[in-house]
Amino acid sequence: MGAVAPANAILLAAILFGLGLAGVLIRRNLIFMLMSIEVMLNATGLAFVAGGARWGQADGQVMFLLVLTLAAAEISVGLALILLLQTRRPTLDSDVGNRLKG
């Protein structure tokens, strides 16, 4: 098995990113929206690693590590906020949390 061409990896990253983006915009369940955001961030991580492979630089892998860490931090904050909302209204339906309008 040879190495994967970076162009293919970037294509895969683009597809995954698109799927994640669609997930955030279409899904109503907050947990699924969070998962889709996670998918988006990991797709960009893949794109970074592929870019680093293409140009022969370690920047891509360094950035991947940072992206992973930031995604974890973001998810912890996000889950905390979801739990906060849940204790007020026990639902994961994002349409309900839409009282503010105008």
Partner 1 sequence: MHVVLADYFPVLVFVVIAFGIAGAMLGGSLLAGQQKPYAEKLSAYECGFDAFDDARRRFDVRFYLVSILFIIFDLEVAFLFPWAVALGRIGLFGFLSMLAFLGVLTVGFIYEWRKGALDWE
Partner 2 sequence: MNWTLALPEIVLSVSGLAILVFGVLQRRDPTQVCSLLTLAAFVLTGVLVLLAPDGIGYNSVFVGDDFARYMKILSLAGAALSLILSMDYNRREGIGRFEFPVLLLFSTVGTMVMASSENLMTLYIGLELQSLAIYILCAFDRDRLGSAEAGLKYFVLGSLASGLLLYGVSLVFGFAGTMEYRGLQAALSASAEIPTGLVIGIVFIIVGLAFKVSAVPFHMWTPDVYQGAPPPVTSFMAGAPKIAAFALLLRVMAGPFGTASHQWQLLIELISMASMLFGALAAIPQTSIKRLMAYSSIGHMGYALMGLAAATPAGMRGTLIYLAVYLFMNAGTFAVIVAMRRRGRPVERIADLAGLGRTDPGLALAMAIFMFSMIGVPPLSGFFGKLLVFSAALQAGLPVLVVVGIVSSVIGAYYYLRVVKVMYFDVATAAFDRPAASVSLVSAGMGLVTGLFILLLGPVSSAAQAAAAVLFR
Q: Which residues bind partner 2 (CB under 8 A)?
A: 6, 10, 13, 17, 20-21, 24, 30, 33, 37, 40-41, 43-44, 47-48, 50-52, 54-55, 57, 59-60, 62-63, 66-67, 70, 73-74, 77-78, 80-82, 84-85, 88-89, 94, 97-102
Rounded (10°) CA dihedral 77, 80, 82, 86: -170
Q: Chain centroid to CA 96: how far?
A: 23
| 73 binding partner 1? (CB under 8 A) | yes
What are the residues facing 93 on neighbouring strands? 29
Residues 8-67 that bind partner 1 (CB under 8 A): 65
The C-alpha atoms of residue 38 and residue 51 are separated, in whole angstroms, by: 20
Minimum CB–partner distance for residue 40 and partner 2 (Å): 4
State the burial class of residue 50 (Cβ atoms within 10 Å of its Cβ: 0-12, 13-18, 19+): buried
Minimum CB–partner distance for residue 72 and partner 1 (Å): 5
